[in-house]
Amino acid sequence: MRAVSLHRDVLLVTSALLHVNCVIVRGAGGEEGQPTAAGEQAGESFVIDSPVLPDELDALSALLAQARFPPPGGLLATHADWDHLLGRLAFPGAPLGCAESTAERLAAEPGAAQRELRSFDEQLYIARPRPLALGSVQALPVPGRCGIAEGELELYPAEGHTADGMAVGIPWAGVLVVGDYLSTVELPTLGHGGDPDAYLATLERLGVLLGQVEHVVPGHGPVIDGTRALDVLEEDRAYLRALRERDAEAGLPAGRRSREQRRLHAQNVAALSSPPPRS
């Protein structure tokens, strides 16, 4: 696991597996290093998405204390894929917030994230001290805002990779957390309920925001600046349009043509050719 500071109020934690990014944000106006009467740091913090490995999750509390961040008052998930929901394993008492679309997906698929996590762990021989329990989920209106101490996080709809999701803006820090979009290491992928038209619409929304941010945090891959993110956006837009028009013959973006990315491309082609589920 690697941890770096993007801003005095924003920590980036990157998992050793899948280059999964987790963002920890302290509310604007929080007093760094000012303990409460109970000895904890004053203010409020949220954990957005999660690292993957058990020791990484176990280390989050110590990392927050070392950085003089208060314990998290809540968890946020950009979407309902299992590798973004593991914050509950680190902070089982913290409430979990997500977009209304994500809450609906979780309710419609009880136990799906747990089964996918169990399958992943079995493949890599990973043992966890306890199972994943999501508990009650707070559905957040998106687009909208989420208060944190004296500041506000900005929530934007982000569907297309899956049928659900949101991006999270941290305006005072110039950080935009986009979930599984704008990755320099991974193709646009059509996961559960993914749709290229919805994906393109999300790219349009994100494109309007990129000129206002300093750091763009994808779900997987390195953090990039707004200018590089615009380049990735154009590459992703061209790929998705070609995928619709040329199917398996669509060209892959430069730098994302490995065997694994070709496998993901084949999955995208299969997803487009599959009939929609019956209601």
CA angle 204, 213, 201 (to 5 degrees): 10
Peptide bond into 143 cis (omega under 30): yes
Q: Strand order of the sheet with strand 166-170?
A: 144-148, 151-157, 166-170, 175-179, 215-218
Q: Comparing C-alpha atoms, which of 159, 211, 214, 163 is closest to residue 181?
A: 159
| Average of per-residue pLDDT across 56-69 | 96
- Domain with 36 in it: what CATH number? 3.60.15.10
Q: What is the pLDDT of residue 43?
A: 77
| Average of per-residue pLDDT across 168-197 | 96
Percent residues over pLDDT 70 in the chain: 93
- 37: CB partners within 8 A, 6+ apart: none
Residue 44, SS3? coil
Query: DSSP string covering 123-162, please?
Result: HHT---SS-----SEEEE-SSEEEEETTEEEEEEE--SSS
Alpha carbons 244 and 222: distance in angstroms, whole number = 27
Q: What is the pLDDT of residue 48?
A: 98
Q: Comparing C-alpha atoms, which of 11, 46, 45, 40 is closest to residue 30?
A: 45
**pTM of this structure:** 0.92
Instruction: Evaluate if residue 218 carries a pLDDT over 50.
Output: yes
Q: What is the pLDDT of residue 276?
A: 55
Cα torsion angle, 111, 113, 119, 124, sign: negative
pLDDT per position as a tens digit, 19-44? 999 999 999 655 544 544 444 555 79
Q: Confirm whether 278 is domain-assigned.
A: no
pLDDT per position as a tens digit, 104-161? 999 999 999 999 999 999 999 999 999 999 988 999 999 999 999 989 999 999 999 9
Instruction: Evaluate if residue 100 carries a pLDDT over 80.
Output: yes
pLDDT per position as a tens digit, 189-204? 999 999 999 999 999 9
Beta strands in 149-247 (DSSP E): 151-157, 166-170, 175-179, 215-218
Q: Confirm whether 279 is domain-assigned.
A: no
Q: What is the pLDDT of residue 41?
A: 57
Instruction: Evaluate if residue 15 carries a pLDDT over 60.
Output: yes
Question: Based on the structure, what is the number of domains in the chain?
Answer: 1
Cα torsion angle, 188, 189, 193, 195, sign: positive
Q: Confirm whether 233 is domain-assigned.
A: yes
| Average of per-residue pLDDT across 160-180 | 97
Number of neighbours of residue 191 by Cβ within 10 angstroms: 18
Q: What is the pLDDT of residue 278?
A: 46
Q: What is the DSSP letter of 82?
A: G
Lookup result for tokens 């992928």: 189
| Average of per-residue pLDDT across 34-59 | 79
**Domain extent for 181:** 2-273
| Average of per-residue pLDDT across 151-180 | 97
Instruction: Evaluate if residue 279 carries a pLDDT over 60.
Output: no
Cα 94 to the chain's mean position, in Å? 18
Q: Confirm whether 203 is domain-assigned.
A: yes
Q: Confirm whether 75 is domain-assigned.
A: yes
Q: Confirm whether 26 is domain-assigned.
A: yes
Q: Confirm whether 130 is domain-assigned.
A: yes
